[in-house]
Amino acid sequence: MKLAPPPNEQILRACLQPQINPQNSSTVTAAFTVPNAYVAPKSSSLTLAAEPNGVNGSEKKKVIVLGADGFCGWPTSLYLSDQGHDVVMVDNLSRRNIDTELGCDSLTPIQSPDVRVQAWKEVSGKEMKFVNLDVAKEYDLLVQLIKDEQPDSIVHFAEQRAAPYSMKTSKTKRYTVDNNVGGSNNLCCAVIDSEVDAHIVHLGTMGVYGYGTSGGEIPEGYIDVILPGGREANILHPAYPGSVYHATKCLDALLWQFYQKNDQLRITDLHQGIVWGTNTPQTIKDERLINRFDYDGDYGTVLNRFLMQGAMGVPLTVYGTGGQTRAFIHITDTARCIEIAINNPPNTGERVEIFNQVAETRRVRDVAKLVADQTGVEMNLLPNPRQEAAENELDVSNRKFCSLGLDPITLDEALFNEVTEVVQKYKHRCDPTKILPASFWNKKRAEECASLDPNSVKIVDKTQEAVKA
């Protein structure tokens, strides 16, 4: 993977707030204990070209964040508010309802939106509005909200985000398509009907490209091709989804292309890698602000699942050979990339801007080995519940974000410690029967995984083991 020069500081760099004591990184003025992995940066490595009004020289904007209660939406909302933007949070709390459906809560005890917003006001002095609204179903309310708020930008996280959940049953497949594609179409229509020139920033996925199907480096959205007759063209990269969830992101991409061409909407699509990490410099200011942590087989992202399993003494659940190469990004960089996109919108009439929102690529078994070496647990190769290649290469360009000032956080054992400490603090909330995969891509995969017994997973109390030793 071709990246910008290696970062000088891997741990939360320029976005870290001054309440951290660099001499004792576990000391903070708020009630929430800061993991030792957080250290104060020596200098800022992020410089954005923008009008001086907000924090760090960025222009203050009115931003509506759709899906603001989720794993990426919540820390992004806090970060944007912390940077001086006027943030309106929108969510229908569907992810919390899915927790109830699956019988598996976030490992961390997340608070209600009202409590979260009030806590943020207390620790930052900044206000955020929360609106309970279903983007896919309550169209008239969405139009009126855009008219009332007159946003400069609308950040679109409001989609069912888990590939395994999208493959679980016919019901979840249909829900994922209806919610994701319907919501994206509603958003485009609502911006048009409201007559507000709002810049749409959508969180997509690297999965729209497929894995290892480009024959080389995956470009940022558009690929040079030679058409019959020797004609050269630069076209939208062909879609090659690996799940219903990924298919909805491919359909989103076509909607963005159409509405930009037809209605001159200004749209940025961010093809993001697998997110890891839990907290950010904003969420650690108060325990009521803590981000959600999903560890189950449906919603837990692969590295977070490994870190949770390692901390609890559970063998790491590596699917197949572990030869799948994937792109990764830390949750802190997700929020930073969103602001960079907001501050660099395409002009009216310009084609959809596409960024690859990734820090690096790693093979899954190599990531598992990093965690296994750190935690002392074994790797357990399981039958793969997914229909995918056993091995693949992945070379990705991320030059655009790097050229705009992003110095990406890469996989680092010190940051692993942050996640591990969160797990240790809340491990009593873990249901070990939810750790193994519970969604299968097709009948063949389900049959191959039939021997997996969710009741076989046992948590090891490392504290008691150390005492016995």
> Catalytic residues, which ones?
205, 245, 249
- Burial annotation 276-307 (CB, 10 A radius, 16+ → b, else e): bbbbbbbbbbbbbbbbbbbbbbbbbbbbbbbb
Helix (H, G, I), strand (E, B) or coil at 202: strand
Neighbours of 231 (CB within 10 A): 8
Which of 248, 197, 168, 210 lies closest to 440, judged by CA? Answer: 168
Burial of 42 from C-beta contacts in 10 A (0-12 / 13-18 / 19+): exposed
Three-class SS string for 234-287? EEECCCCCCCHHHHHHHHHHHHHHHHHHHHCCCEEEEEECEEECCCCCCHHHCH
* Distance in angstroms (rounded) separating the CA atoms of residues 4 and 399: 7
Angle (CA) 78-102-329 rounded to 5° is 40
**Residue 426: other Cβ atoms inside 10 A:** 17
Instruction: Identify any residues that bridge with 363 across adjacent strands, giving them in sequence order.
Output: 325
Which residues partner with 235 through β-bridges? 223
DSSP count for the chain of H helices, then E strands: 14, 14
Residues 6 or more apart whose Cβ sits within 8 Å of residue 375: 310, 311, 313, 420
Q: Are 314 and 297 in contact (CB under 8 A)?
A: no
CA-to-CA separations, 285 to 22, 289, 356, 405, 412, in angstroms, rounded: 16, 7, 30, 25, 22
DSSP codes joined into one string, 385-453: -S-S-SB----BB-HHHHHTT-------HHHHHHHHHHHHHHGGG--GGGSS----SSHHHHHHTTT--
Q: How far does the chain reach from its first CA to its final CA, in angstroms?
A: 44
